[in-house]
C-alpha cells in the first residue's frame, strides 16, 4: 500500500514538506525532553511518528485530553486488549458514555489484523477486524502518547486528532529468539515479547533446543531438562563459548511456558516452539546417547569426546522418543505449527554422520536412495506424521525441503540467503523470508564490532534496503511469502553479560524497528522512516532499551582529529585503548593520537559503535618462524601463521601441545595479543593454556593464562620469542582456530 499523509486544513501537502516538518519536530522533541522535567511542557506526538508507519493517516487540527474521567468501553471479546491498555493508561472508569471515552470494538468488514483509529476532540475510537486488529490500533494510540507519560503513568495527557486506516502487508511478522545457546529468564523473554508487541510483530519463534542446551521440561523424560539444561563445570553437557568452569544454564517448566504463551497471546503474539531435529542435538545426545547411530566414532581428534549431534534415522526407538517429546510440546503450545528444525544436519564434523552408520546405509539401500538428504526426508516425514496425530503441522528450515518430498502444508523458514527463499516459494511452499544477511541480528553491524561474521556486517540502514521487487520476487512468488522474521542467535550472548539486556538490545535495535516496517508495509523507505525513528528513540529510552546509534564521523583536518556526531543531541566520547580511560570529546585532538583513541556517541540509553581512524587498527608484522606440536589441516601450513593468516588445526588440543613464535629481530611493542577461535566467536579455542615470553631468546617466563582463548599482555622489554603451552583440552570442537598475532 502507498503511504498517505494528509493535513485536513491544507490538503495535498507534498511529501518533502511533511518530512521537513517531521525532522524539525523530532529535533524539538529531543530538545524539550533534554531540558524539561515537567509533563506540562511535552507536546503530543503526531501520528506520523508511529513505527511501523500506518498506511493511511488523515491528520486533523485539535487534540483530545485523556483525563481521570475518561472511560474505557470495549466489547467483551476484547477484555485482554483493554487490560493491556490499562497497564499504560491509568483510566479509572469503565462505562458506556459517548463522550470522553476510549472505545474498543470489532468490525466484521475489516480484515482480522486491520484497524481504524479515530481521535477527535470528544473521544477515541479503535475498531478492528479481530482481536489482533484492535490490539494493533491500541499500539498506534500508545505511540501517539509522549513517552514521558507512559513512564510516569500520570493523567491528564493530550493526543493529536487523527484518522488512521491501517492493515499489515504480511500475515507472518515474526521474531526468533534462541534460548538454547544462552539461557534467558522468563522475565527477559517477556520483555522481548513486549518489544515485539510494540512493533506489531505477531509470531514468536522460540528456539528451545540445540547442541548447547535443552531448555524445555519433558515430564516423561525429566533428565532431558534437569541435565541437558546446564553445561560447564560438572554438567554432562560440555561448555561452549564462555562460562567453562561453572555449571550454568536453566530450563522452562510446563507452567512457565504456558505463562509465556498466555502473556504473548494477550499481546496478539503466537508462540511457535522449535525442537531442532534431527541435527543440532548434541546436548540431548550427551544425556541420551542411544539416539545416535550404532558405530564407534573416532574420538582421538576430538579430545576423547563424541561430538556427533544427529539422531539415527534407522532406529525405530527414536521415533517413540520423538513422540514423547511432541506429545508434551503440543499440550503446552496452542500454535498450529511446531518447528522441527532440519538445518545443517549431520555435517558438524566435516563428514556426514549417517555415512558411517551401517543401519542408515542399509536403509538407503532398501529404498534405493543415493543421497543422505533422502534419509532426512524419511525422518522428517515420520515426525510430520507424529505431529499430525497431535493436531499439529511441521515448520522447517530451508534445507529440509531439499529432498523434494515434504508436503506443501509444511511451512519453510528461509535463512541462508535470498536465493533459498526464492527457491522455496518457487516450489509452492509458504515461506518465512529471513535471509541472514538482512535479518540475523546476531550479525556484526560494522567491520570492527562484535557479532557473527558469516552473513557479513550490516546496520539498520542496510536492513532497510531489503525490497522484494529488487530481490527478484515476482507477483507469483509473493503469493507464497508467508511473511518475514528477524532472528537473534545467542552464541555470543553468553560472553556479553547475559544477566543484562544491553547486548541483545544493542544488536537488535534499531534493526528490529526497520524489520517491523518491512513486515507491516512490505518495504522501508529509509529517508521517510528515519525521522520517525529519531522520535521512536524516546520511547525506547523510556523503556530502558539500549539501542545502537549511528556512529560519528572521524577525520583529520589541519593536524587535528575532528569528530562530528550524527545528530546534534548526541554527546561524544573518546577512549584510550592503552589506559582504558574514557573522556568527553569537546574539541579536536592532536593527530598523533590516531593510533590509540576511538570515539563513540551517546544519547540517553543509546550508544554508537566505537569508531577510529585507520591507524588505530594497524599492527606490526615482524618476520618470524613458527613451530608447533599441533597438526594443521591440509590446506594450512606454518607459513600461513608466519604470514599472519588464520589457520585451523586438524584436531583438538591436548595437554602438552605447544606453539612457538620466534622473531627474526627483537620486537618492541606496547601490547601483544594472542587469540584463538573463530573471529568474534569463542568457538574452537584453546581453553586451558598459558603464554610465555622470552626477552633474551633463551629463557621464557609466563606472562599470563588465556581467558576465553585469548591473552593480551604488555611486554616489559623487547620480545625475542613467544610460546603458548596447553595444559588441558581445548573446547568441544574437533579443531583449534589460531588467529594472527596482534602486535601494537
Task: Give per-residue pLDDT as tens, 489-537.
Answer: 999 999 888 889 999 999 999 999 999 999 999 999 999 999 999 999 9
Whole-prediction pTM: 0.93
What pLDDT is recorded for position 495? Answer: 87
Question: How far apart, in whole angstroms, are the C-alpha atoms of residue 414 and residue 212?
Answer: 23
Spatial neighbors of 69 by CB under 8 A, at least 6 apart, are 93, 100
User: Which class would CATH give 553-617?
Assistant: mainly beta
Q: Which of 554, 549, 570, 560 is nearest to 612 (CA)?
A: 554
Domain extents for the chain? Answer: 4-166, 172-544, 553-617, 624-743
What pLDDT is recorded for position 31? Answer: 40
CB–CB of 199/516 below 8 Å? yes
Domain 172-544 indexed as CATH 3.20.20.80 = yes
What pLDDT is recorded for position 48? Answer: 84
Phi, psi (rounded to 5 degrees) for 227: -105, -40
CB–CB of 119/161 below 8 Å? yes
CB–CB of 345/402 below 8 Å? no
Contacts 24+ apart (CB under 8 A), 494-499: 494/181, 494/182, 494/241, 494/242, 494/243, 494/248, 495/241, 495/242, 495/682, 495/708, 496/450, 498/182, 498/183, 498/184
- CA gyration radius, the chain: 28
Q: Is 53 left (phi over 0), alpha (psi -120 to 50) or beta?
A: beta
User: Which class would CATH give 624-743?
Assistant: mainly beta
CB–CB of 451/457 below 8 Å? yes
Spatial neighbors of 566 by CB under 8 A, at least 6 apart, are 549, 550, 551, 552, 553, 601, 608
Spatial neighbors of 118 by CB under 8 A, at least 6 apart, are 124, 125, 162, 163, 164
Decide whether 553-617 matches 624-743 in CATH topology.
Answer: no
What pLDDT is recorded for position 291? Answer: 98
CB–CB of 295/357 below 8 Å? yes
The list of the chain residues with pLDDT below 70 reads 1-43, 93, 95, 150-153, 346-350
Question: How far apart, in whole angstroms, are the C-alpha atoms of residue 42 and residue 148?
Answer: 8
Q: Is the peptide bond before 510 cis (omega within 30 degrees of 0)?
A: yes
578-628 pLDDT, tens per residue? 999 999 999 999 999 999 999 999 999 999 999 999 999 999 999 999 999
Question: How far apart, in whole angstroms, are the C-alpha atoms of residue 303 and residue 297?
Answer: 12
Q: At what angle do helices 526-542 and 511-521 cross, to 10 degrees?
A: 120
What pLDDT is recorded for position 346? Answer: 65
Domain 4-166 indexed as CATH 3.30.450.90 = no
What pLDDT is recorded for position 148? Answer: 78
Q: Which three cell numbers stand for residue 126?
A: 479503535
Q: Which three cell numbers stand for residue 469?
A: 521487487
- In angstroms, the first-to-last Cα distance of the chain is 54
What pLDDT is recorded for position 620? Answer: 96
Amino acid at each position: 500500500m502507498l503511504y498517505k499523509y494528509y493535513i485536513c486544513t491544507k490538503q495535498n501537502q507534498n511529501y518533502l514538506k511533511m518530512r521537513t516538518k517531521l525532522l524539525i519536530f523530532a529535533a524539538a522533541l529531543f530538545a524539550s525532553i533534554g531540558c524539561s522535567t515537567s509533563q506540562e511542557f511535552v507536546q503530543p506526538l503526531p501520528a506520523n511518528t508511529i513505527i511501523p508507519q500506518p498506511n493511511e493517516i488523515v491528520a486533523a487540527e485539535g487534540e483530545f485530553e485523556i483525563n481521570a474521567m475518561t472511560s474505557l468501553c470495549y466489547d467483551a471479546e476484547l477484555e485482554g486488549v483493554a487490560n493491556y491498555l490499562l497497564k499504560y493508561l491509568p483510566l479509572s472508569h469503565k462505562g458506556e458514555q459517548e463522550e470522553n471515552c476510549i472505545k474498543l470494538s470489532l468490525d466484521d468488514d475489516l480484515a482480522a489484523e486491520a484497524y481504524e483509529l479515530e481521535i477527535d476532540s470528544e473521544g477515541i475510537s479503535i475498531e478492528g477486524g479481530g482481536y489482533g486488529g484492535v490490539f494493533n490500533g491500541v499500539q498506534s494510540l500508545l505511540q501517539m502518547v509522549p513517552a514521558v507519560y507512559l513512564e510516569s503513568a500520570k493523567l491528564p495527557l493530550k493526543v493529536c486528532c487523527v484518522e488512521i486506516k491501517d492493515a499489515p502487508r504480511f500475515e507472518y511478522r515474526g521474531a526468533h529468539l534462541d534460548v538454547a545457546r544462552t539461557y534467558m529468564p522468563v522475565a527477559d523473554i517477556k520483555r522481548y515479547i513486549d518489544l515485539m508487541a510494540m512493533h506489531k510483530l505477531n509470531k514468536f519463534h522460540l528456539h528451545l533446543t540445540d547442541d548447547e542446551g535443552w531448555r524445555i521440561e519433558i515430564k516423561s523424560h525429566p533428565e532431558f531438562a534437569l541435565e541437558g539444561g546446564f553445561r560447564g563445570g560438572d554438567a554432562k553437557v560440555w561448555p561452549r563459548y564462555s562460562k567453562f568452569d561453572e555449571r550454568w544454564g536453566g530450563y522452562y517448566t510446563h507452567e512457565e511456558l504456558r505463562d509465556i504463551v498466555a502473556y504473548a497471546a494477550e499481546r496478539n503474539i503466537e508462540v511457535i516452539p522449535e525442537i531442532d531435529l534431527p541435527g543440532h542435538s548434541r546436548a540431548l545426545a550427551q544425556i541420551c546417547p542411544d539416539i545416535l547411530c550404532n558405530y564407534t566414532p573416532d574420538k582421538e581428534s576430538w579430545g576423547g569426546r563424541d561430538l556427533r549431534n544427529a539422531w539415527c534415522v534407522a532406529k525405530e526407538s527414536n521415533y517413540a522418543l520423538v513422540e514423547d517429546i511432541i506429545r508434551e510440546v503440543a499440550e503446552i503450545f496452542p500454535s498450529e505449527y511446531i518447528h522441527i528444525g532440519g538445518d545443517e544436519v549431520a555435517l558438524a564434523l566435516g563428514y556426514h554422520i549417517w555415512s558411517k552408520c551401517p543401519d542408515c546405509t542399509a536403509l538407503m539401500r532398501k529404498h534405493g536412495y543415493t543421497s543422505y538428504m533422502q534419509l532426512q526426508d524419511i525422518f522428517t516425514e515420520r515426525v510430520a506424521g507424529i505431529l499430525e496425530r497431535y493436531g499439529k503441522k511441521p515448520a522447517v528450515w530451508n534445507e529440509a525441503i531439499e529432498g523434494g518430498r515434504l508436503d506443501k502444508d509444511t511451512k519453510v523458514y528461509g535463512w541462508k540467503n535470498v536465493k533459498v527463499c526464492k527457491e522455496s516459494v518457487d516450489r509452492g511452499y509458504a515461506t518465512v523470508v529471513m535471509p541472514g544477511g538482512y535479518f540475523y541480528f546476531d550479525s556484526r553491524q560494522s567491520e570492527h564490532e562484535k557479532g557473527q561474521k558469516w552473513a557479513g556486517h550490516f546496520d539498520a540502514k542496510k536492513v532497510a534496503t531489503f525490497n522484494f521487487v529488487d530481490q527478484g520476487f515476482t507477483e507469483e512468488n509473493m503469493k507464497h511469502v508467508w511473511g518475514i522474521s528477524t532472528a537473534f542467535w545467542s552464541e555470543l550472548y553468553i560472553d556479553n553479560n547475559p544477566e543484562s539486556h544491553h547486548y541483545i538490545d544493542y544488536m537488535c535495535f534499531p534493526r528490529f524497528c526497520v524489520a517491523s516496517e518491512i513486515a507491516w508495509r512490505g518495504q522501508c523507505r529509509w529517508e521517510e522512516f528515519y525521522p520517525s525513528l529519531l522520535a521512536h528513540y524516546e520511547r525506547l529510552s523510556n523503556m530502558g532499551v539500549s539501542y545502537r546509534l549511528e556512529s560519528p564521523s572521524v577525520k583529520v583536518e589541519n593536524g587535528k582529529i575532528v569528530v562530528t556526531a550524527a545528530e546534534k543531541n548526541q554527546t561524544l566520547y573518546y577512549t584510550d585503548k592503552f589506559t582504558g580511560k574514557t573522556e568527553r570529546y569537546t574539541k579536536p585532538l592532536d593527530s598523533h593520537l590516531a593510533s590509540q583513541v576511538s570515539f563513540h556517541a551517546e544519547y540517553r540509553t543509546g550508544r554508537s559503535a566505537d569508531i577510529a581512524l585507520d591507524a588505530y587498527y594497524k599492527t606490526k608484522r615482524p618476520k618470524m618462524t613458527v613451530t608447533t606440536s599441533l597438526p594443521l589441516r591440509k590446506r594450512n601450513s606454518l607459513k600461513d601463521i608466519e604470514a599472519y593468516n588464520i589457520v585451523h588445526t586438524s584436531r583438538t588440543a591436548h595437554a602438552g601441545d605447544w606453539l612457538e613464535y620466534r622473531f627474526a629481530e627483537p620486537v618492541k611493542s606496547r601490547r601483544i595479543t594472542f587469540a584463538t577461535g573463530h573471529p568474534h566467536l569463542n568457538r574452537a579455542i584453546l581453553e586451558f593454556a598459558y603464554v610465555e615470553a622470552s626477552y633474551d631468546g633463551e629463557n621464557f617466563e609466563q606472562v599470563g593464562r588465556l581467558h576465553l582463548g585469548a591473552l593480551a599482555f604488555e611486554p616489559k622489554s623487547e620480545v625475542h620469542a613467544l610460546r603458548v603451552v596447553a595444559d588441558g583440552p581445548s573446547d568441544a570442537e574437533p579443531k583449534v582456530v589460531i588467529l594472527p598475532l596482534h602486535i601494537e
